[in-house]
Structure formats: C-alpha cells, structure tokens
Structure 1
Amino acid sequence: MSPLLAIIMFAMGLTLTIADLREALTDPRPLIMGVCLQFILMPVLAFSISQALSLPSELLVGMMLVGTAPGGTASNVLAYLAGGRVALSIGMTTLSTLMAVFVMPFLCSVYLSTVIKVDQVGMLISILKIVILPVAGGVLLNALCPKLINRIKPCLPSIAVIGICSAITLVIAMNADALASLSAIVVVAVLLHNTLGLISGYVSARLCGMDIPTARTVAIEVGTQNTGLAAALAFKHFTVLAALPGAIFSMTQNILGALLASYWSAKPPKNRKPLTD
C-alpha cells in the first residue's frame, strides 16, 4: 500500500511548479479557507456521522483518518473540469499535504484518544516517507528536467489512477467478509461525509464573498480527500477494517466529484458576484 501511494505522490510532485504555487498565493483567502475547512470541518463531520450511526471503533478510526487527511490529487483535475481555479486547487492540495505531517497525527490523537492508542510519532514518520519525500522529489525533478517532465506529464494521471485503483482493490479484497455485513452503514456514512463536505465548501466560500469559480474549487477540494494516505495509515498503524472507509470514500468522491464537475462544466458562471452582495 505505501509504495503505491508514494508513486502517486511522486507523480503529483512532477506536476507542480513554483509558478503554480505563486499564482495560488496572490489571494491567500480561499487558500486559507480551504485548508481550514479541510482540517476543521471534515474531521468534525467524520466524528459526528460516526457517532450518530454508532459505527464500531475500527470504522470510526477509518472515518477519522479520511476526515483528517489532506486534499486528494483528483481534486486538481475535477477543478479544471468544473471551471474552477486549477492553480488554487494545486495550492490547497499542496499546503494541506504539507500540513498533514503534523496535523493528521494530532487530530487523530485528539478525536481517538478514548477509543484507541494513536502512535503520533509513527504516523508522522509514515507521512514523511509516503508523502513529503516523494512530492519533494517530484518537484525537484520537474525543476531540474522540465523538458523531460513535460513529455511524460500526459501519462501522470494514468499512473495515479492505476495506483489508486490498485489500492482500492487491495482494501476491498482484504475486507471481503466484513464488507458483506457492514457495506450499507459504511456507504451511508461515507456518502454523508462526502456530500456534506462538497456542500459546505461551496456555501462557505460563497458566504465569505468568493466568486463562483473559487467557490467551486473550494468545494471540490474540501470534498476530495487523500484516501490513499488514509488507507495506508490504517494498514500501518491500526486494522485492516479501518482502511474500508477510505476505500469507499475514494470511489464515492470520484463519482460524486465527476458528476458535480460535469454539471458545473455545462453551467459557466454568468456572474461572479458573491452571495453577500
């Protein structure tokens, strides 16, 4: 699981340039809002939904790993399809990924301390190995060999998709018996989490005075989690069953995200005035 995710994160790093990040920083408000919703709203939703549905502790752990995870790389493609701001999406994904090194272990410890022992140091080291080093390596290689990377960039989404699909298949195969009896309640929990994240991201951005393309970007970013990281950490530090919410969320976020992006792509914003006007 970890090598698969490292490959995906390396591919993400290859797509990043300093210019992308500089553009995203021209207006830091949506960047800050997206990251705050990512690490405040999504964990609260995950915990609240798990408690409301009385999920067993293993699934609660899995929901919290998804809820505290950084933005997923698929959000960048979905933001483009939805008519959003791609540079902003890349900036939010990158910032939340970097912050996850410290924020994810801390939040898991806060929410799960009464349920299960959380190895914060172990999680931190795992995230460094699985996320930060591959991303940094990709960015460095892109800076050193831009012509070469531009040639292989069209292949990078396919590499990411293959890696994600392989990870999902592995998790589902290892949870085949549990899935038969728990699928309904887990799917309901994950769908609620995913849907509320998308809605909350969009509404929050509009209420804060952001234009439609920005609101679409924030919505997709908040509703798209790095489920591969959540599943990898579940395997490494918790139980196999704890990886199940991440696997299901990976499927629902890509289906819901694609449907939403398709809907928005057919509706170019006629005006960009915020709801507060």
Structure 2
Amino acid sequence: MLKKFTSLFPLWAILLSAVAFVYPEYFIPYKGFIVPLLSLIMLGMGVTLSVDSFLAVLKRPYVILLGTLMQYTLMPLAAWMVCLALKLPSDLAAGVILLGCCPGGTASNVICYLAKGDVALSIVLTSVSTMIAFIATPFLTWLFIGQTVDVDVMGMLVSVVNIVIVPVVLGLSINYFFEKRISAIRDVFPAISALAIVVIIAIIIGTNSENLERSGFLVLVAVILHNGLGLAGGYGVAKAFKLSETEARTLAIEVGMQNSGLSVALAIKHFTAAAALPGAIFSIWHNLSGAFLAGHWSKTSVPDPDKSEMPRISGHIH
C-alpha cells in the first residue's frame, strides 16, 4: 500500500496542486512549513541510506566523479542558456539558475529503479552531490547570478547545512545505531517523504497562484527545456565516455532530476516568491518526465556492460 502511494506521488502532486491553484487561501498560511518539511525529507533519505553507501564511492571513483561534475556543470550551464534564450525576467531567471545549481533530487532513486538503472550508483550520486551542495550551490549561484542579484552566499551556505547536511547525518546515525529496530518501518520513510513533497509543491503553487497564472507557461517551457537538456546531456556524455547502458541511464536520471525542494526553500529565503516558481513546477514536471522515461526504458533490454571499457573510462577522466 505504501509503495503504491509512493509510486503515484506525481499524480497526488498534480491533484493537490490543482486544488492549491483554485483555493490558494487554504495553503498560503502554511508557507513557513516548507523548510521543516524539506528537512524531514532529507532525514528520511538519511534513514534509508547506510555508511556503506558512501564507502561504495571508493569502488567506482570515475563514474561518481563524472556524474557529480555533470550535475554541477551541465545543469547550471543549461539553466543559464535557457534563461538567455527565453529572456526570462530577473526573478524567474534567478529561480531557474538556482534550480540548476542544486544537487540531484532524491526522487531520482525511485525513477532509476523503474528505469532498470543502477540503484546503488544512483543513491551514491545523490548522496555525494547533496553532501557537497553546501559549497557548490552557493558558489555556483553567486557565479551565475551574483552580478545581477544580491546573493547571500554565507546565508545560503548555512541554510544548506541546516536543511540538508544535519538531517541526512542524523538519519544516517539513526540507521547506523538502530538498524534492526527500524528495519520493519523503513518502508514508511519514502512514503512520508513523498507526502511531504506533495504538500511542499501545493503550498508553493498556492503561494504563487497569481504568478503562475501570469507567467506559468513561460516558466513551464523553461523547466521542460532545462530538464530535457539534463536528461539528454547526462545520457549522451555517459555514452561518450563509453559507460554501460545501465550507468548511462542512471547518470541521465541523476543529472536531469534536481532537488527542486531545496531550490524552492532557498529561493523563498534569499530571493522572492516568484523565484520559487521554477522549482515548484520542476517538482511536478521532472517526476512526470522521469516516470515517462522509466516506462520507456523498463520495456527495453539492458545489454551486459563491457568490462573491458572500464580502463578507457579512466583514461578519459584523467
């Protein structure tokens, strides 16, 4: 029952967002709950991981390095190009670029599983990009929009530590010390995270109902382009480095699916409500596009990886 609810959370997000758009007055008062709910999602992610997940990075350093570099180069650059191409207003541009500078989203792990990707690799990539977000996200945001928008780098750094690092470490600690006790209820955490994401999206849609009505189509086009460039770029670059089909699918999903909840929280805290709109719409769209992609890939066979290609990967990276 819980797994079914979790797998359908894009549908719940659309339904509750529609309610929030029509009746924003019921959601606006709960704007202050966004950051705590996001922290709850990060805590749930930490509980479902283990220290071994992070140690696995040492066994696949080149794939991890490539995926992380793409996360923090391809996505910010794609966001910047989309903003230029569409000539987005400064607030919306700040939101799109901030989104591009965020780490991978936790929903990518579920999509990766459905797409016959490498779930272990997906979890490690999400974890690594999340753990270095406290440095990468503020720096890249300042690098791309610091000249036109006043970016509080130190404030954003502190926010990422509080919203991401602390809850994830707490979750890891709970899993480490109480692994046997929580094993029976571990499946509850993804469902709680899914519910929290749905509520966050609805609150943002309600808060931005007027902006959505006025600029929704333009933002939607920006989000679709940004997400599409991430998915295609992640897959294409992985194939160019001769990674296996499974690894290519995993990197495509990891690069293309951002932690939109984090971008929403940071946008509200450091920019404007309008700047949170791209992240809110991305929260819905990337799950829908990811589900569609997973549906397509789940019906296609995955060739056995050619182990002889691995030394060539090392040569490309170095």
Return the TM-score normalized by structure 2: 0.84
1:97 aligns with 2:130: yes
Superposition pairs for residues 20-169 of structure 1, below 5 Å? 20-169=53-202
1:242 aligns with 2:275: yes
Map of 2:253 onto structure 1? 220
Superposition pairs for residues 161-240 of structure 1, below 5 Å? 161-240=194-273
Name the Cα RMSD after superposition.
Answer: 1.4
Deviation digits for residues 160-188 of structure 1 (CA, Å, limit 9, x no counterpart): 11111111111111111111121111100
Q: Secondary structure at the match of 2:45?
A: helix
Determine the C-alpha separation between the residues in 2 that align with 1:189 and 1:139. 35
Partners of 1:201 and 1:219 within 8 A in 2 = yes
Letter in 1 for 2:191: S
Q: Secondary structure at the match of 2:272?
A: coil
Structure 1 ranges of 4+ moved more than 4 A: none
Letter in 2 for 1:211: S
Partners of 2:40 and 2:167 within 8 A in 1 = yes
Q: CA deviation at 1:25?
A: 3.0
Percentage of pairs with the same residue: 44
- The 1:270/1:113 distance shift into structure 2, 3 A limit, reads closer
Map of 2:29 onto structure 1? none
Partners of 2:245 and 2:303 within 8 A in 1 = no
Return the TM-score normalized by structure 1: 0.97
Q: CA deviation at 1:271?
A: 4.2
Partners of 2:92 and 2:278 within 8 A in 1 = yes
Determine the C-alpha separation between the residues in 2 that align with 1:225 and 1:149. 28
Letter in 2 for 1:264: W
Map of 1:264 onto structure 2? 297
Determine the C-alpha separation between the residues in 1 that align with 2:104 and 2:181. 27
Q: Secondary structure at the match of 1:156?
A: helix
Determine the C-alpha separation between the residues in 2 that align with 1:38 and 1:60. 19
Q: CA deviation at 1:197?
A: 0.3
Q: Secondary structure at the match of 2:150?
A: coil
Partners of 1:24 and 1:87 within 8 A in 2 = no
Higher-Rg member (1/2):
2
1:253 aligns with 2:286: yes
Deviation digits for residues 45-95 of structure 1 (CA, Å, limit 9, x no counterpart): 001101110100000110011100001001111111111111111111111
